Homo-oligomer: A and B are copies of this chain.
Amino acid sequence: MHPVPIQLLIESFEQLPGIGHKTAERLAFYLLNNMSVEDVEFMANNMLDAKHNITLCPVCQNLTDATPCVICSSPKRDRSVICVVETPKDVLAIERTNEFDGLYHVLHGALSPMDNIGPEDIKIKELLERLSDGEVKEIIMATNPNVAGTATAMYIARLISPMGVKVTRIAHGIPIGSDLEYADEMTIVKALEGRQVI
């Protein structure tokens, strides 16, 4: 049996998703044999720092170390448009395009009755609260194009439309640079439905 500190270390790594016992053991021995004390301290401190200092932005619910987050507090962003996404990673993906200058709202999930995720489990209430002052003119639903993401988009659209705010959905179609030949049928159907005059 391993000495107790090694066992605890292995158990800690096993807590992480996608890391089984063998990988946890490999990581533990790497930490003990190949990393310097400074590297381990740097890593442990980064974990504690991130956990202690990262919170949800009270406005857009994105992960942030500032309150409100840098996007919500930027005077350069268009406050009339909110792009609604499922996760903080989706915000990053859209920000990388440098094409969107509105605000975001992170739901932290999508409606999924099968997994017992209902409207109270994601940040829908917080989104509705942002619409009360009438500044927002459009909500872009950028949830994922799967069953849960589409259901979430429809659900939120039905809640918000009566409030006089335009709700739009991002386009689905053949990805740029890919081959029609390899696209799945639903994507082709969506691409045909969404055809535009050129």
Contact = CB atoms under 8 A, between A and B. Distances in A.
Interface of A: 1-6, 8-9, 11-12, 15-18, 23, 25-35, 37, 39-54, 63-66, 69-70, 87-89, 92, 95, 108
A3 B64 contact: yes
Given A5-B46, A8-B49, 9 more contacts: A5-B65, A6-B65, A9-B49, A12-B42, A16-B31, A32-B51, A32-B63, A40-B47, A44-B45
B27 A15 contact: no
Copies in the complex: 2
A48 B54 contact: no
A92 B2 contact: yes
Contacts of A88: 2, 29
A12 B92 contact: no
A22 to B, nearest CB: 10
A66 to B, nearest CB: 7
B17 A35 contact: no
Nearest to A4: B65
A25 B65 contact: no
A60 to B, nearest CB: 13
Contacts of A27: 16-17
A174 to B, nearest CB: 24
B50 A6 contact: yes
28 contacts: A1-B92, A1-B95, A2-B63, A2-B88, A3-B63, A5-B46, A5-B53, A5-B65, A6-B50, A6-B54, A8-B50, A12-B46, A15-B35, A15-B39, A15-B43, A16-B31, A17-B27, A17-B30, A17-B34, A29-B63, A29-B87, A29-B89, A31-B50, A31-B51, A32-B54, A41-B51, A44-B45, A44-B48
